[in-house]
Chain A
Amino acid sequence: MLKFISLIFGLLIMSFLNEFMTFISYLVFLGLGWLFMYNSNLVSMSYFSCDSLSWFMVILTFWIIVLMLLSSHSYKVTNFFYQKFTFVLMLMLLLLFFTFTCSDLLSFYIFFEGSLIPIYLLIVGWGYQPERLQAGIYLLLYTIFASLPLLISIFFVGDYVGGFSMSLLSFGCDESMWVSFWFMFSIFAFLVKLPAFYVHLWLPKAHVEAPVSGSMMLAGVLLKLGCYGLMRFMMFFQGKVAFLSSVLVSLGLMGGLAVSFICLRQVDLKALIAYSSVSHMGLALGGLGSWGLWGYSSCLYTCVAHGLCSSGLFFLSGVIYERESRSWYYKGYLEIMPSMAFDDLFYCIGNIGSLWFMRFMMFFQGKVAFLSSVLVSLGLMGGLAVSFICLRQVDLKALIAYSSVSHMGLALGGLGSWGLWGYSSCLYTCVAHGLCSSGLFFLSGVI
């Protein structure tokens, strides 16, 4: 573990040496080295540890930092404080690496709060509008205010289990009194960070006012800090608060639904992506709230997938902003920039979430198995019916659209079978269909 930390320290020092693009090669090779840690499950009493959860988050961090550097090349070209920018980026990398790999609760809290400083500097230093000052204040105050109960809870947990190590959390809590209140007290900071509905107001402000790289970091990694913290803390409370699962699931899902309606009203592209991030994280919260293994792992995969997808969408909105000087909802990009429009379509399909439906099904598996026959018949017969409609189409785009419905019907049929093969067939159908239909739509645009 120390080799990664020392190399990241080295990168921090290198940020004073007028380098910019060379960071990419170092970060990529660091990330490749981190790949070999996949097998490790170091849950020791030392300061750093690594398990599958940390591994995913750290690899995501490395990748997002690379993308942030790539998207901010204009700072080097225009000589806009690029040395300080790379310093802030490397500081962010270091703090996030510490956050995800430390095995001490108090250290986790310090680095969790510490990661606010670089993102605040990014928003205030490299943001575009005067409103960024208010956005930075919202970001800081929301998170700091919400994490004070977390600090108190950490001291209480440390006193209860006899130490601050995260490995002690798995011994669980035996207290029945006030445990639900204690649970809510502990996870409030993570709910704000996630962000859950009702406490999500900082996110649209911060995302809109942040520069492209700041938005990518916020959406890509910093929201996942909330998920990560929730996943660690929930191990401590386990079965004692399982009756609160309905609260978390409804907060996640209904909040996500409400926010997705707000999405429909948005004019600003960045605000739209920000609200969609809230919706996706609501889904992740719903998965966590189910208290099942599948919901737990679905939260992790949603985090990784959303991190990659949202960062890509923010980058594309930045491309539009560079050309139009505002990131409003423009049309007609297939004519002017077809490659970018194709990328936009690809990321939007990913954002729509070919996989979200499977996550939803995952944690409801046992309860709605009786619906499997309905799902299979709806999927297959519906797909067959729609394919007949395909045959009558004259317009190429309508034909591709109906064929997409037919393919998704097939995926739904596979999912409804509740078997491993059906599930994996749905996954592959979604991925393959996402690639193929986006290619077909692009070609139809060319024609």
Chain B
Amino acid sequence: MASLWRVSSSLLSRLGGKQALATSIRCVSTSTDKKDIIDANVTTGPIQEPHRVTLSPEAKQKLRGEVKTDQWQSFGWSIESEAEDRRLMHYVFFCTVSCGIVLGSLIWAYLPDARGLDWAHREAYLQLHLRESEGRPLLDPNLIDPALIELPSDEELGDTKIII
């Protein structure tokens, strides 16, 4: 962006503009006044390299979570005792998630032939194979002997709607 500005201003100056063009503007503040942005390590004068923030060993330990403090965040089970709070949290999650959801799903998934579904599929394939080998139709249209079915007569039916 700055280079484009310089090129265009040099072109303009060659075209005849004798006005003082702002060719050397750099939009960088050099003021030493207090700025809005908070800078932790503001120093007046030249910047010293390398500019790194150093942490004390205690601060590093705190960041890594290795230091136990008096401040503890309750999970909601107890606001007085941290031990009680953690104990109940582990207890409830073990019972509901590990036992209830995980173990329950495991039991449900591996229930032996739930509601006879596997048996029904197996039996169906066996019957199909048997009927194909014997040359019989796969599905007998007269599953129930028609002679055994007693249908009402037309007079008995009258205006009754037949819903199939």
A28-B99, A73-B76, A243-B161 known; A35 and B92 CB under 8 Å?
A: no
A24 touches B96 (CB 8 A): yes
A39 touches B104 (CB 8 A): no
B88 touches A21 (CB 8 A): yes
- Judged by a CB distance under 8 angstroms, whether B59 is at the interface is no
Complexed CA–CA distance, A39 and B119 (Å): 13
A32 touches B107 (CB 8 A): yes
Contacts of A77 on B, CB cut-off 8 Å? 78-79
- Judged by a CB distance under 8 angstroms, whether B17 is at the interface is no
Contacts of B1 on A, CB cut-off 8 Å? none
- Judged by a CB distance under 8 angstroms, whether A341 is at the interface is no
Complexed CA–CA distance, A109 and B91 (Å): 38
- Judged by a CB distance under 8 angstroms, whether B22 is at the interface is no
A73-B76, A73-B77 known; A38 and B96 CB under 8 Å?
A: no
A31-B100, A70-B92 known; A38 and B163 CB under 8 Å?
A: no
- Judged by a CB distance under 8 angstroms, whether B114 is at the interface is yes
Partner of B104, one of A31, A239, A242: A31
Complexed CA–CA distance, A31 and B95 (Å): 11
Complexed CA–CA distance, A73 and B96 (Å): 15
A39-B114, A39-B115 known; A24 and B108 CB under 8 Å?
A: no
A38 touches B108 (CB 8 A): yes
A21 touches B91 (CB 8 A): yes
Contacts of B104 on A, CB cut-off 8 Å? 31-32, 35
Contacts of B103 on A, CB cut-off 8 Å? 32
Considering only CB atoms, which chain B residue lies closest to A176 in the complex? B160
A38 touches B92 (CB 8 A): no
- Judged by a CB distance under 8 angstroms, whether B45 is at the interface is no
Contact with B along A227-251 (1 / 0, CB 8 A): 0000000000001001100000000
Contacts of A38 on B, CB cut-off 8 Å? 108, 111, 114-115
- Judged by a CB distance under 8 angstroms, whether A25 is at the interface is yes
Contacts of B88 on A, CB cut-off 8 Å? 21
Contacts of A21 on B, CB cut-off 8 Å? 88, 91-92
- Judged by a CB distance under 8 angstroms, whether A178 is at the interface is no
Contacts of B79 on A, CB cut-off 8 Å? 77
- Judged by a CB distance under 8 angstroms, whether B112 is at the interface is yes
A242 touches B163 (CB 8 A): yes
Task: List B89-127 residues whose CB lies under 8 Å from chain A.
Answer: 91-92, 95-96, 99-100, 103-104, 107-108, 111-115
A39 touches B91 (CB 8 A): no
A66 touches B96 (CB 8 A): yes
Contacts of A66 on B, CB cut-off 8 Å? 96, 100
Considering only CB atoms, which chain A residue lies closest to B98 in the complex? A28
B154 to chain A, nearest CB (A): 17
Considering only CB atoms, which chain A residue lies closest to B77 in the complex? A73
Partner of A39, one of B95, B96, B99, B111: B111
Partner of A32, one of B77, B91, B100, B161: B100
A374 to chain B, nearest CB (A): 28
A28 touches B100 (CB 8 A): yes
B84 to chain A, nearest CB (A): 10
Complexed CA–CA distance, A25 and B163 (Å): 51
B95 touches A36 (CB 8 A): no
Task: List A151-191 residues whose CB lies under 8 Å from chain B.
Answer: 176
Complexed CA–CA distance, A51 and B88 (Å): 36
Contacts of B100 on A, CB cut-off 8 Å? 28, 31-32, 63, 66
Partner of A52, one of B77, B92, B96, B115: B115
Task: List A26-49 residues whose CB lies under 8 Å from chain B.
Answer: 28-29, 31-32, 35-36, 38-39, 41
Contacts of B161 on A, CB cut-off 8 Å? 243
Contacts of B91 on A, CB cut-off 8 Å? 21, 24-25
Contacts of B77 on A, CB cut-off 8 Å? 73
Considering only CB atoms, which chain A residue lies closest to B88 in the complex? A21
Contacts of A39 on B, CB cut-off 8 Å? 111-115
Complexed CA–CA distance, A40 and B59 (Å): 62
Considering only CB atoms, which chain B residue lies closest to A41 in the complex? B115
Complexed CA–CA distance, A66 and B163 (Å): 46
> What would 14 A/B residue contacts be, using CB atoms closer than 8 Å?
A21-B88, A28-B100, A32-B99, A32-B103, A32-B104, A35-B107, A36-B107, A36-B111, A39-B113, A39-B115, A52-B115, A66-B96, A70-B96, A239-B163
A-B complex: 7 closest residue pairs judged by Cβ atoms: A28-B100, A25-B95, A28-B95, A35-B107, A24-B95, A28-B99, A38-B114
